[in-house]
Structure 1
């Protein structure tokens, strides 16, 4: 950039030197500097110097962006004070909103633009923090899916963004109208040049100088024109002014007075330009310098002897500011180049996300967090060079958008699955509603537990139905189990009474163990009473069974009992235990069947043995074999009698 500005300066100095010899002209007559030399005070070089000043301005600002040139207010004292109030230190949203409202009535759109750019980042920072906190609470605390998160913010957020968009729209319309106005101003100035040319080529009269002043005032009153036409317009305008004064030598004295006034004005501008070197804000200094250049070129010619010194003084002051700007843009270019490399790398990372695919929500959510972190890293990096910004932005954001497009397609498919899941859960809800009033508590409890297990295996349902269908299902289950708990409380009281009864019976049976005589009928009666008593508390079952078994085993082992009594007692004990066990009916039925099968087998054995005895031959050993078979038949018949007694006992139950 330094080489570029040096070249601009060399071109300006060369141009001024050339135009001292021959000013820019539109016709052969305009190209004759000797005519101006005939008048002592005539200085055709002065307008050309102002063209050079404009060229200097445009060349020096060639690398500045349009945003820089439009990014300043008009330095009106009240509006400047209003902008100075935007020096925030940890502001609240209300403070930022109140600050924004102050610019609602400001008409200077450059001031409004600067205010919008100052206020919005502070507000976005607070808003983004609130949104991240809400998202974290939504996912971590409430256990929701981040894809379902919808942050609506507060009422002040809506008011702030509405007002911001209103001011931004107003500003955009202003600058759009400004460009349109520039085109209109171009047409006006081109028309004015034609009128000025007619005046210059017309006959000399006393009224012509007044007509020229009017045209000059009209020229000054016309606003900005498109930058591409500025240099040509000014060159033609100044050349025509020079031709006018060249042709009207009778007004040289008046022109000399004007030039002295112009000299005073340009010296004031030189002083103002030199004072800009003290400003810390480089943007403000550049903007004010541009304004001074605009004023400098609108001031008319000055005495020839002062022309070069004044211009060199003004140019020297300008060069100091432009040198600072050159250093600023050198650093800026370097930073932008580094930013481009960083953002290009992030775009490459984002391309991996664009091809990501999965059938698991957790993996999509995990990838979403990763790409959002990637976006935060992108946002922290500054601007990009203009020539690379479009491609780099497209590279990153196209991959970014493709990821979320793929995610959206996945969740649309998932939504269809959730509708199916909703139907399944509604079916389970209907079954739970049917069972909640059931009196078969144990059976129904198992069925409801199966329904709950099936419920957990079914995937998620649409968000808007999730809480409602779950609450209804849970309410149906809770209703049944509350009824079951109430029933169990009543049963527990009954079980405690049963435990006391069984303990009393065990105590009564223990008394017979150490008694000298035992009344078996009373023992049988106690055993029957024990069997008739219902369940005891769960935590006492094992201890109660152990005590009962110990007592009955000791009773069966008493020496005073005959074998028949011992067998009967043992049978009663077994029957008592069967009666007192869970599913006693089934167990007794199985016991009865086993005894009947055993009776049948013994009867078959006895019949076989009796038949075999008839075939024994008369021999020494035949009688011995018959006696052995008779003993076996006698023992079998005794066992058969005992089994039939047991069967009779079981039949009596």
Structure 2
């Protein structure tokens, strides 16, 4: 081994190595790119399974759900070496904790957004959290067991290798002092020690380079000693020279490897073979070979550094992309969103941004935690605002639900009513009121709407059927009235006033019983009344008597019940009050004719109008008397009916 490879050596003794027991040799010039390879080889040498770390795929754990993360953790523990999966397990745990904590925050915000929960303690857990950490604890136990066993083995190996180095050192002293140990005997002893050396496993990483440098140093000293006495090592030197040249050629081939990371890992293995598996060469080749190997190593190292620099630049680009997405989410949160539809669009936008964020690759390590926390805070702020909106919206929706249920109660109350004139406006109004009520949850909205619509439809179906029936009845009554009108036209007075009056009353009663005619056919009523008035006049009845006869006939056909008489009385009293106001107004108008002769046309017209209104007043007052008489008769009939029932 060349002098520049000997950074430091251990003074080998039978005691456990300590810092104080180190034998220092003159340091060689150090290169950072060589240090990096030696440190990595030391790590791999300490744990032979560690080199399998690159063979275990590092998946994108941030994109996995909780169940997938747990399954992947179980798979790694079951199928891979415990020493090879530390980085994978920690990445899985980080992704699991992040997702679970985010879910926990969302559930907490949802809990606090519900009514009457502000004062309650929040509690939430999923079974997968317990099962995941149970599996993780299993990994830690296995890792601890493995680490303790490994440390014991490494320490024991270090002691054994120190003993071999001591024995190699002693071979030179024995060769000098004991003539019985010829060169052949020394070589056999050396090769036996070398075989034992390679059979011994790894040592602690902090001693790896020193122990190997020490071993190679004393191996070279041994062969240098033999070269002074006899040139037995020429064949061995030639073999080692060939092997080192092969390693240099393999290193050159790695310069063309497109996968820079793979090339670097292969180079580490070549350095391990150079150090551990190839012996010394002639002094004249040592520095030259090492310089060639180091130059290739530096070139591969520089390519890797360029690759890592570009990778870091992509990390910075990813950082800006993620910060841009976070700013968009924060911008959505700051918007003045005031409706359910707007929030649904905002939720969809945030979910898309969340997915886009998770698809973006790594960011610089120093920014990773801060960016993730800001992302979580942005999502949390949006969720908090959204939950507050829906909490307030829920109160409004509850009020709207109560309003709609009230309208449903009204519809159900009147849906079987037959008081068409009074109820129809009510049903029409609550239909308009329903349209003015704000939104409620869709599922409940459909249910309440079906109930409300069913009640309204039930009423209007009955109304339409009633009108249909009325229409049929009206058509029949029209024909009957036309027939009755024809009979009245053909009627001749007999000369017996009493019989004639009864027959005329019979005509009137039949006519009234056929109900009212449509507006467009009221001319038939006019013809009937005109003929009736003519006949009554022939029987010497004045206009007032005729009107009272017709009014009594109307009272006979009023609907049963107290309300019909009360409504009729209200109508008559209003008519009387209206006539009195008209008379008063006409009399006041006469004051403008104080100097006008009574024979003046305007004066005559005014006096005529007053007389007509006074006659009308007398007629309506007489109608009121007839109505009172009818009410008294109705009350007496009701009393008699009650007495009979008793």
Q: Does 1:399 align with 2:378?
A: yes
Task: Go from structure 1 to structure 2 and tell me whether the alpha carbon gap of 1:436 and 1:264 turns closer, same or farther (over 3 Å shift).
Answer: farther
CA distance in 2, matches of 1:636, 1:455: 50
* 1:209 corresponds to: 190
* 1:72 corresponds to: 54
CA distance in 2, matches of 1:256, 1:632: 157
1:187 to 142, 155, 166: 155
CA distance in 2, matches of 1:232, 1:599: 131
* 2:351 corresponds to: 372
Task: Go from structure 1 to structure 2 and tell me whether the alpha carbon gap of 1:196 and 1:17 turns closer, same or farther (over 3 Å shift).
Answer: closer
Q: Cα deviation per residue 1:353-411 (whole Å; 9 max; x = unaligned)? A: 67789886666555444433443443344321223323333333333334435555666
* 2:524 corresponds to: 551
Q: Structure 2 stretches of 5 or more lacking a match?
A: 13-24, 43-49, 60-70, 90-112, 115-128, 175-180, 494-499, 585-597, 599-606, 632-646
Task: Go from structure 1 to structure 2 and tell me whether the alpha carbon gap of 1:100 and 1:281 turns closer, same or farther (over 3 Å shift).
Answer: farther
SS of residue in 1 equivalent to 2:480 = helix
Q: Does 1:502 align with 2:477?
A: yes
* 2:35 corresponds to: 55
Deviation at 1:217, TM superposition (A): 0.9
Task: Go from structure 1 to structure 2 and tell me whether the alpha carbon gap of 1:331 and 1:378 turns closer, same or farther (over 3 Å shift).
Answer: same
The answer to which of 165-174 and 380-389 deviates more is 165-174
CA distance in 2, matches of 1:380, 1:210: 57
What is the number of equivalent residue pairs in this alignment? 523
Preserved CA contact (<8 Å) 1:356 1:403: no
Q: What are the within-5 Å matches in structure 2 for residues 349-498 of structure 1?
A: 350=329, 365=344, 367-405=346-384, 407-408=386-387, 417=395, 435=413, 446=426, 457=437, 467=444, 471=447, 484=459, 487-488=462-463, 491-492=466-467, 494-498=469-473
Q: What are the within-5 Å matches in structure 2 for residues 32-431 of structure 1?
A: 54-55=34-35, 57=37, 72-73=54-55, 107=80, 187-188=155-156, 190-202=158-170, 204=174, 206=186, 208-210=189-191, 212-219=193-200, 221-222=201-202, 226=205, 230-245=208-223, 255-304=233-282, 305-308=284-287, 310-315=289-294, 317-319=296-298, 321-348=300-327, 350=329, 365=344, 367-405=346-384, 407-408=386-387, 417=395
CA distance in 2, matches of 1:418, 1:599: 54
CA distance in 1, matches of 2:331, 2:580: 83
Task: Go from structure 1 to structure 2 and tell me whether the alpha carbon gap of 1:101 and 1:649 turns closer, same or farther (over 3 Å shift).
Answer: same
Q: Cα deviation per residue 1:59-89 (whole Å; 9 max; x = unaligned)? A: 9999xxxxx9876329xxxxxxxx9xx9xxx
Preserved CA contact (<8 Å) 2:267 2:297: yes
SS of residue in 1 equivalent to 2:361 = coil
Q: Cα deviation per residue 1:301-335 (whole Å; 9 max; x = unaligned)? A: 24224445544554455455445434423322322
CA distance in 1, matches of 2:343, 2:609: 83
Q: Cα deviation per residue 1:536-594 (whole Å; 9 max; x = unaligned)? A: xxxxxxxx521342222345567957876766667777888997999865542223334
The alignment's TM-score, normalised by the length of structure 2, stands at 0.57
Preserved CA contact (<8 Å) 1:263 1:303: yes
The answer to which of 575-584 and 236-245 deviates more is 575-584
Deviation at 1:424, TM superposition (A): 5.2
* 1:19 corresponds to: 4
CA distance in 1, matches of 2:9, 2:88: 46
The answer to which of 445-454 and 263-272 deviates more is 445-454
Preserved CA contact (<8 Å) 2:404 2:437: no
Preserved CA contact (<8 Å) 1:25 1:236: yes
* 1:532 corresponds to: 513
2:570 to 562, 579, 590: 590
CA distance in 2, matches of 1:575, 1:320: 127
Preserved CA contact (<8 Å) 1:266 1:299: no
CA distance in 2, matches of 1:458, 1:387: 51
Task: Go from structure 1 to structure 2 and tell me whether the alpha carbon gap of 1:378 and 1:105 turns closer, same or farther (over 3 Å shift).
Answer: closer
Q: Cα deviation per residue 1:417-453 (whole Å; 9 max; x = unaligned)? A: 4997699589869968995996678688958985996
Task: Go from structure 1 to structure 2 and tell me whether the alpha carbon gap of 1:395 and 1:529 turns closer, same or farther (over 3 Å shift).
Answer: same
* 2:122 corresponds to: none
Deviation at 1:295, TM superposition (A): 2.3
Task: Go from structure 1 to structure 2 and tell me whether the alpha carbon gap of 1:311 and 1:111 turns closer, same or farther (over 3 Å shift).
Answer: same
CA distance in 2, matches of 1:58, 1:523: 134
CA distance in 1, matches of 2:417, 2:463: 12
Task: Go from structure 1 to structure 2 and tell me whether the alpha carbon gap of 1:527 and 1:247 turns closer, same or farther (over 3 Å shift).
Answer: farther
Preserved CA contact (<8 Å) 2:416 2:459: no
Q: How large is the RMSD of aligned CA atoms in angstroms?
A: 6.6
